Each structure stands twice: as C-alpha cells, then as structure tokens.
Amino acid sequence: MVRFSVVITSFNYLAFLEHCIESVLLQDYPSFELIVVDDGSTDGSRDLIAGYSTAGKLRRVFHDINRGHGGAINSGFSEADGEVVLFLDADDFLLPGALSELNRCHSEEVAQYQYRMQLVDESGQPFDIFPQPEVPLDSGLIADKILATGRYNTTVTSGLAFSAAALGKVMPMEEELFRQGGDGFLATIVPLYGEVLSIDKPLAAYRQHGKNHSQFLKNLVKRARWCLEHDANRYSALRDHAQKLGLDVHEPLGDADILHLEQRMVRVLVDPECPLSEKAKRRGIAGLALRALCQQEVRGWRTSVLKVWWRSLGFGPVPLASTLLQWKLESSSRPEIVKNIAKALRRHG
C-alpha cells in the first residue's frame, strides 16, 4: 500500500479551501497525509486551516510572506514523507476514489502520474473534461520528446502526482523564477528521471472562475508575455538537468513547441509593444508550427483544422488572423456558429 502526501497550496482562496481540504480528508484510502500550505493569505484562510485538528491527517504550514506557487510547493514537499506526492491548488479538489486509483496504478518505474480532470464552474458543477478526451496524454519514457520540443501532452498542477524519489532529484525549484506555474517546472523536469503514466479518466476537478491565474487569458497580450517568460525559465531548467544527465537538447527548443509558437504569434499580431522586426516574422512562426504539426504522431480532424488555422495566421490578412487567434485562445469570444461547429467536430472526433 502506497503512502501519499497531498499538498494543498493556497493564497487567498478561502471561498474554495474547505471544499478542497474535505475532498482529501474524505478519500476512501487510509494511507495518506495532508499538508496545507498557506502562502501569506489575508482573507481568513488561516483561521479555517487552524480550525482543523493537527492530531489527525492534516498538518499546516504558514508562510509569513507570500512566496508564490513555487515557494509553496517547495515548502509542502519539504514536509512530505509519502512515497507519492500530489500538489493540489486550493481552488481545485480531488474526486472520490482518486487515491485508491493511484494506488492501483502505482509502479516503482513511474516518476510522474497524470490524469484528466473534470472542468467545473465556480460552484463546483462539472461541464467538461480537461484535457479534452480527444487529446491523448503522453505515457512511458518521454524524455526524448521533451528534449526535442520542450513540451509534451500533459496537464496542470491538480492533475499531476509525483514519485517522491524523483522529486528529491529536482527540488527545490527556484522560487522567484516560478512564482506562478511551479507545475510547469515539475512537469518539464521530472520525466527526465523516470516514466510517465497517464490515467485516462478524471481523478480531480479543475475549477474555472474569475480568479484563476490562467484566466488572464482574457488579456491575451499579458498572458503571452508571461507564457514566453515562463517557457524561457522552463527551457533553462531543462538544459541544466539535461547537462547533469548527459542528455542532448535539440535547439532551439521553442521552434518545435506549438504552444510556445502560439504565444509568439499573439505578440506578433496583437502586442503593441512588439518590435516591427518581430512582427515581420509572422510567416516564419506559422511555418515552424506547420512543420511541428507534420511531425506529430496523432492525425485527424484536429490536426487538419490546426493546419488551416496556422496558414491563416501566417499568410492571411492581419484582421482575420487576429480574430482567428482570439477565437481559439479566448473561447468566450467565439460566435455561436463557431462554438457549434467545434462541438460537432468533438462529437465525431
């Protein structure tokens, strides 16, 4: 029987924190500990956490100052004694039976477990799956893919679990570089140290609400600037660990990373501060993305649609390209007909 450490990281998430804590404490699996890291909250979260007895499965860690996502993950891991560690964002929650399922799938060869999540609204009602079922999650030894592109099919914090032994080889992370997106560091580096096992069913819930870090998607330029900086930090950490392990990195990493190329295209098309010399690279970015799509193992309607989309971004009129970019990256901006077409494609995909 595997012992799990579940680390909840929270900053001013009082509205969701109790649901998150209870989702762990009510798991039907006996061998786990819960560590709640409060990262300097000022909204009453600490009073809620303090109300739980530390004589049971819950332990608490209080930061005097806000240290960001990476700092909270570092603190939680330093307190953990389980064989497998989950980092759960406080606005998300585990689904019933999650730890039992992870125990059934446990293997000493696995460094990282990843699983789908229910997308839920602010009240916790499910409305979709993330990542979408038609998107295959990568499994097995995937270090070569990461070293070649800097990315693979994975998920976000609450959809990941890690071998403590593998985490011990990569932690602590540099807190200032990963104040946001500490999961990006872990999901990039941990697979260099073992296998990835993907579970094709939801074990957690990913809550969508107005305060999500990812919700500044509504400001495409702000998000693009952050994503590009975050990718640069991930790539730098990847190079460092690859060097330690004697592995080769295929440079330049970003040129084969489709999601990275998306954010470069955002800057080129809609960032007013993007230099004219960069804006002239629109066709080149689209060409790199089309080449990367051709090298993907998965084919089907998604790949065909993406090829048309990238050609439009690279070679179509700028107003059309900007509109298509917004429709893909900001779902609320899509006309109903576009939403209906997307739903129909998913149903028949």
The tokens of 165 are what? 């032994």
User: Does 4-215 carry CATH code 3.40.50.720?
Assistant: no
Please report the pLDDT score of residue 334 as a whole number. Answer: 84
> Which of 201, 258, 193, 259 minimizes the C-alpha distance to 226?
259
Residue 110 sits at φ, ψ, to 5 deg, of -90, 130
Please report the pLDDT score of residue 217 as a whole number. Answer: 45
Whether pLDDT at 100 is above 70: yes
Please report the pLDDT score of residue 231 as a whole number. Answer: 98
Mean pLDDT for 113-135 is 94
Q: How far is CA 180 from CA 156, 216, 234, in A?
A: 12, 13, 12
Mean pLDDT for 324-332 is 85
Residue 240 and residue 288: Cα distance in Å, rounded?
A: 25
pLDDT digits (tens, 9 = 90+) for 55-69: 678 999 999 999 999
Please report the pLDDT score of residue 211 as a whole number. Answer: 64
Roughly how many angstroms between the first and final C-alpha of the chain, as a whole number?
38
List, as one string, the DSSP characters of 2-21.
--EEEEEEESS-HHHHHHHH
Q: What H or E segment, with its residue span, contains residue 283? A: helix 282-294
Please report the pLDDT score of residue 56 as a whole number. Answer: 77
Contact 11, 35 (CB under 8 A): no
Rg of the chain taking only CA atoms, in angstroms = 20
pLDDT digits (tens, 9 = 90+) for 166-196: 999 999 999 999 999 999 999 999 999 999 9
pLDDT digits (tens, 9 = 90+) for 262-288: 999 999 999 999 999 999 999 999 999
pLDDT band at 230 (very low <50, low <70, confident <90, very high): very high
Distance from the Cα of residue 255 to its chain's centroid: 20
Residue that the structure tokens 């096992």 belong to: 197
Residue 4 and residue 248: Cα distance in Å, rounded?
A: 33
Residue 233: other Cβ atoms inside 10 A: 19
Residue 100: other Cβ atoms inside 10 A: 14
Contact 29, 136 (CB under 8 A): no
The tokens of 271 are what? 């960032």
Residue 232 is given by DSSP the state: H
> Which of 80, 86, 118 minimizes the C-alpha distance to 102?
86
The tokens of 309 are what? 């989309």
Contact 286, 310 (CB under 8 A): yes
Per cent of the chain over pLDDT 90 is: 81
Please report the pLDDT score of residue 336 as a whole number. Answer: 86
Burial class (CB in 10 A: 0-12, 13-18, 19+), 91: buried
Residue 246 is given by DSSP the state: T
Query: Range with the lowest mean pLDDT among 13-17, 143-147, 186-190, 305-309?
Result: 305-309
Please report the pLDDT score of residue 331 as a whole number. Answer: 77
pLDDT band at 305 (very low <50, low <70, confident <90, very high): confident
List, as one string, the DSSP characters of 126-144.
EEEEES-TTSPPP-B--HH
pLDDT digits (tens, 9 = 90+) for 140-174: 999 999 999 999 999 999 999 999 999 999 999 99
Please report the pLDDT score of residue 216 as a whole number. Answer: 47
Please report the pLDDT score of residue 346 as a whole number. Answer: 67
Domain range summary for the chain, segments of one domain joined by +: 4-215, 219-347
Residue 25 and residue 2: Cα distance in Å, rounded?
A: 16
Please report the pLDDT score of residue 280 as a whole number. Answer: 92
